[in-house]
């Protein structure tokens, strides 16, 4: 198979999967409302641009060449800058990067590449898990993964934002990631569906709820149409 054919098959498979997730005529967990651009919920940067336009508080990103971004951020707290590569490579904390680092040979010319840099107060991330209006807040730190007490100030802050997003998106399940900027918790991304790597971190909270939602699905997929 040549590159052109491979690209075609990849696109066909992706679009078919997207239909299963977003376009099925039966209820799907995490299905956004009709008309929602599917892609914006999949990628952090695109998700933030979309949610910002809807008026939600989202993390600010600075975009530019890494060299210029590094210079502009020189006064920011050390190690709290997250870099998102324009080419889709996994994000990294800026302090972990070195153009001369042999573990990142593909980054040897990184100073000229375009990136998005997000300056955060700390590396902690709060994740709000949502299943049918039930929320669980998880805090992800470098060393530990304790669940946040529901009545903590930070849990209340992110839950309030999450409820507005959930109402806007109209989904039954999602994970909303938050980072801290300027002392305030702001949205980093909205993930539909809940990423599987979060499941073990949610303890006994997530699985029974997901199971309940799944077992409610009694419909069978039907083809689109007919409309006569």
The footprint of another protein (CB under 8 A) covers 3, 7-9, 11-16, 18-19, 22-25, 34-35, 37-40, 45-46, 48-50, 52-53, 58, 60-65, 68, 85-88, 112-114, 116, 223-228
Calpha distance 40→38 (Å, rounded): 6
How near is the Cβ of 6 to another protein at its closest, in Å? 10
Calpha distance 190→174 (Å, rounded): 7
Calpha distance 209→134 (Å, rounded): 9
Calpha distance 143→140 (Å, rounded): 8
How near is the Cβ of 227 to another protein at its closest, in Å? 5
Nearer to another protein, 39 or 203 (CB): 39
How near is the Cβ of 183 to another protein at its closest, in Å? 16
Nearer to another protein, 131 or 187 (CB): 187
How near is the Cβ of 71 to another protein at its closest, in Å? 11
Q: Looking only at Cα atoms, what is the longest distance across the chain?
A: 64
Residue 133 · residue 189 · CB < 8 Å: no
Nearer to another protein, 22 or 205 (CB): 22
* Paired tokens of 158: 């992110």
């Amino acid at each position: 198979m040549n590159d052109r054919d491979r690209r075609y098959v990849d696109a066909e498979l992706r679009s078919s999967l997207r239909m299963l997730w977003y376009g099925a005529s039966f209820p799907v967990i995490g299905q956004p409302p009709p008309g929602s651009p599917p892609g914006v919920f999949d990628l952090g940067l695109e998700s933030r641009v979309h949610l910002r336009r809807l008026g939600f508080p989202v993390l600010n990103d600075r975009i530019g060449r890494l060299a210029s971004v590094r210079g502009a951020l020189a006064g920011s707290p050390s190690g709290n800058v997250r870099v998102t590569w324009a080419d889709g490579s996994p994000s990294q904390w800026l302090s972990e990067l070195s153009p001369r680092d042999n573990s990142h040979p593909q980054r040897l010319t990184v100073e000229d590449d375009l990136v998005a840099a997000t300056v955060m107060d700390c590396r902690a991330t709060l994740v709000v898990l949502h299943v049918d209006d039930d929320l669980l807040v998880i805090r992800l730190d470098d060393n530990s993964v304790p669940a946040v007490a529901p009545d903590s100030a930070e849990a209340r802050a992110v839950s309030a934002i999450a409820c507005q997003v959930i109402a806007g998106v109209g989904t039954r399940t999602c994970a909303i990631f938050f980072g801290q900027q300027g002392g305030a918790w702001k949205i980093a991304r909205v993930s539909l569906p809940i990423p599987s790597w979060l499941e073990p971190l949610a303890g006994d909270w997530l699985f029974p709820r997901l199971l309940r939602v799944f077992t409610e699905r009694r419909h069978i997929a039907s083809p689109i149409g007919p409309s006569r």
